[in-house]
Amino acid sequence: MTRFALTVEYDGRPFMGWQRQQHGPSVQQALEAAVTAITGEAASVHAAGRTDAGVHALAMRAHVDIAKPIVPFRLMEALNARLRPSPVAVLACEIVADDWHARFSCLGRAYEYRIVNRRAPLTHEAGLAWQVPQPLDEVPMAAAAALLVGRHDFTTFRSAHCQADSPLRTLDRLEVARDGERVTIRAAARSFLHHQVRSMVGCLALVGWGRWSVGDLAAALAAHNRAALGLNAPPDGLFFVAASYPGE
């Protein structure tokens, strides 16, 4: 049995999320079906993160165990052939140690949220960014983001359906940057709660609109109550961009 590490890119719009679902297609299901078609083996593909419906990935890390002899390049090529026309692509494939685990060996995860701040509707990027017509002031958004960095109880920014044992998380990075009409929010942590990034982005947008002050966001964090959340941003603009591992 050989363990292969995969780097996977996908457009989340056609999927119910990463994880296999009973009520719709998932990225995990697409990859497992492709592995089974290639090898004839029942496959279980594990990922660094479980993205929600409509959320995208630029470099999701995953692993799968295969008994059939196959070199990484051939496996990658075969997977990409089998995955067509689904918007899923394997960018890299390598053999890793048997104890390497895409989820449990991961030391950190990074996300990027893309906002297009303009009144005109999106054409090429519809479903790939959050189109916000109201003017956004990125300066107070950045100041509010800085308050969330560090170790906190993120209950306010946690989905009611989150299955994590604790709401405590250490946020290593939360930055807001503007380039013309584009506002990009970058977040990094060892792990995130369910909906945490989207919830933080939604509240930062309220600050950018002037509907919340920086103090209002601080109060929402301190409330430790989901009812204090101002806004949960849509999945469209969220991308899983990186996962880090020992020795990389």
Same domain assignment for residues 124 and 92: no
Q: What is the mean pLDDT of the chain?
A: 96
CATH for 220 = 3.30.70.660
- Distance between CA 21 and CA 194 in Å, rounded? 17
Residues 168 and 47 in one domain: no
pLDDT of residue 21: 82
Contact predicate 192/172, CB 8 Å? no
What is the DSSP code string of 173-242? EEEEEEETTEEEEEEEES---TTHHHHHHHHHHHHHHTSS-HHHHHHHHHHT-GGG------GGGEEEEE
Separation of CA 113 from chain center: 9
Residue 231: its pLDDT value, please? 94
Which parts of 50-193 are beta strand (E)?
56-66, 88-96, 108-116, 130-131, 150-153, 168-179, 182-189
Its domain, for residue 38, covers 2-96
Which regions of the chain are under pLDDT 70? Answer: none
For the entire predicted model, the pTM comes to 0.95
Tens digit of pLDDT for each residue in 136-159?
Answer: 999 999 999 999 999 999 999 998
- Residue of 52, 65, 137, 216 marked catalytic: 52
| pLDDT at residue 162 in the model | 81
Does the annotation mark 52 as catalytic? Answer: yes
Looking at the fold, whether 56 and 116 belong to one and the same domain comes out as no
Same domain, 227 and 130: yes
Q: Where are the alpha helices (DSSP H) in 84-184?
A: 138-148
| pLDDT value of residue 215 | 96
